[in-house]
């Protein structure tokens, strides 16, 4: 099928239009209601190629282990009904897949809604677009999200495609986001970031009075690509007793270290500068801003500030990447 083409699959007395990953995203795909952005449900064909680590697994176990949004019973029924195909052909539920085969999964897709704030273009050039990302919107397709993403919205509303994220923000986080408009520019930015020529800082608003002293936090971070968010693995206190507090995290996540400095406080909220020192470019905010983390093991002083309160105005005035 040609790129961007939509295939019609004919059944008795009905014609269903199946979208694929190459199907263009349009403004008509979205519905706005009461400050929320919805995606019209649509028929979709997921396409994946069998990886080496999937080799010799049964087709149903593979789907249940790798795509855990649905139970094993669903995948058994989908295989038997022909909604899951291998190389375009129906197979038994105990069929063993081999590397390089093509898997197809036909679904009626319902994407989760996101906040209806617009993805605002702040600057547009031939090589780079800088935008303000609203909270709740993932940057790129992941998990249940395909159209309700920064890339999907920019394609639909501004005809900007392809775009290459230079750095990322977690789904729940708002802020400035820089996207390259070609692969060469993206590679150039990545090399400059890896070489220390480009640094990145976050400005966060958190509940409570953040400690006045500057501190560093080292943690083990797990990034969930399906959900577009980062979480901190379980921790135990290892405060040093001086002006820098550290937390030792246990587990197998990716190591990350971030420096925190209070810029201001009104007694109820604090504005904090967060500077990544090590770690992956899109994981550091989980150290301080993930509202699901238990900070009792970090430092008794900071038990009060756990919730991120994103504000577009504050990001515009205080947030920056330099």
Q: How many helices (H) and strands (E) does the chain have?
A: 6, 19
Token pair recorded at residue 82: 């022909």
Q: What is the DSSP string of 10-60?
A: EETTEEEEEB-TTSPP-GGGEEEETTEEEE--EEEEEEEEPPGGGTT-BHH
How deeply is 35 buried, as exposed, middle or buried, from its count of CB atoms within 10 A (0-12, 13-18, 19+)?
exposed
Task: State how far Cα 203 lies from the chain centre.
Answer: 19
**Active-site entry in 73, 94, 170, 187:** 170
Q: Rounded to whole angstroms, how far apart are CA atoms 103 and 81?
A: 15
Question: Could you tell me which residues come within 8 angstroms of residue 133 by beta carbon, excluding any fewer than 6 positions away?
Answer: 119, 139, 150, 169, 173, 174, 175, 176, 177
Half-sphere exposure at residue 257, Cβ-oriented, CA atoms within 13 angstroms? 10
Sign (positive/negative) of CA torsion 190, 314, 39, 289?
positive
Is 170 annotated as catalytic?
yes
What residues act catalytically? 170
């Amino acid at each position: 099928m040609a790129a961007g083409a939509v295939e019609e699959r004919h059944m008795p007395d009905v014609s269903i239009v199946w979208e694929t990953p190459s199907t263009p995203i349009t403004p008509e795909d979205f519905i706005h209601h009461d400050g929320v952005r919805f995606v019209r449900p649509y028929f979709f064909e997921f396409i994946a190629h069998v990886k080496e680590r999937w080799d010799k697994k049964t087709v149903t176990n593979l789907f249940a282990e790798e795509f855990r949004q649905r139970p094993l019973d669903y995948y058994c029924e989908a295989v038997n009904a022909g909604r899951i195909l291998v190389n375009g052909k129906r197979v038994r539920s105990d069929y063993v897949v081999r590397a390089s085969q093509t898997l197809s999964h036909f679904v009626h897709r319902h994407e989760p809604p996101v906040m209806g704030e617009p993805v605002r273009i702040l600057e547009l050039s031939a090589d780079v677009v800088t935008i303000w990302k609203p909270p709740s919107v993932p940057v790129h397709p992941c998990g249940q999200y395909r159209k309700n993403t920064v890339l999907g919205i920019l394609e639909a509303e501004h005809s900007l495609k392809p775009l290459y994220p230079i750095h990322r923000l977690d789904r729940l986080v708002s802020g400035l986001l820089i996207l390259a408009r070609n692969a060469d520019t993206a590679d150039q930015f990545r090399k400059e970031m890896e070489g220390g020529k480009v640094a990145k800082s976050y400005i966060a608003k958190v509940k409570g009075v953040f400690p006045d002293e500057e501190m560093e936090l080292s943690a083990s971070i797990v990034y969930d690509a399906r959900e577009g968010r980062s979480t901190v693995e379980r921790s135990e206190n290892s405060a040093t007793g001086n002006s820098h507090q550290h937390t030792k995290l246990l587990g197998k996540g990716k190591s990350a270290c971030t420096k925190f400095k209070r810029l201001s406080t009104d007694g109820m909220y604090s504005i904090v500068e967060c500077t990544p020192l090590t770690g992956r470019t899109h994981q550091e905010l989980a150290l301080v801003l993930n509202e699901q983390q238990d900070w009792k093991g970090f430092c008794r002083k900071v038990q009060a500030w756990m919730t991120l309160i994103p504000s577009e105005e504050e990001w515009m005035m205080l947030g920056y990447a330099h």
